[in-house]
Amino acid sequence: MSEKRARLVREAVETVAVTLLIFIVIRFAVQSFRVDGPSMEPGLHTDEFVLVDKAAYFFSGPQRGDVIVFHYPLDTSRDFIKRVVGIPGDSIRTTSSDVFVDGQVLHEPYISQSFNFVSQTWKLGPNQFFVMGDNRDNSLDSRTWGALDKSYIIGKAVAVYWPINQWEWINTYTSVYASIHT
């Protein structure tokens, strides 16, 4: 009887250990994020929940077009969601209606209206990213507070999962950025 009991205890401990391991891996690799505000419209809306892949950038950085969640550099208690427009080494230039990356104008089907507050140019250094909301006239982003350091990035937004009838993969529009050198 003691051998049977020992086997039962061992199986229970193994089950709890595997469950904890799975929980820890999921907790550190995946996060939920609630969209708050209109800055990513028309693609993402307030009160939608997105799944964030926190492991996406362990071995490489974000790519142009990725939608990322990050700590707001001016108040790290707040998290934002924006689209990566520029990566380290890029030169970003805005005019009143266009965005240029390394001299190439972006033709962005995901924005509702072309709009920039001022014409300006930024040169990104190592580990710096330029992020913008898709709703350009209603977005607090790199145009206002500058380049985003990689250390603030939480992960890549990969899917809208709530509300369930809005479920979809988040499009990174790789074709928009295809003509820009990497």
Task: Report the alpha-carbon distance of residue 65 to residue 175 in Å, rounded.
Answer: 9
Q: Which one is catalytic: 2, 4, 32, 39? A: 39
Task: Report the alpha-carbon distance of residue 34 to residue 157 in Å, rounded.
Answer: 11
- For CA atoms 173, 140, 72, 81, the dihedral sign is negative
Active site residue 82: yes
| Count of beta carbons in the 10 Å neighbourhood of residue 62 | 23
Place of tokens 């089907």: 109
Active site residue 142: no
Amino acid (one-letter) located at 85:
V
Amino acid (one-letter) located at 145:
W
Q: Which one is catalytic: 2, 32, 82, 112? A: 82
Active site residues: 39, 82
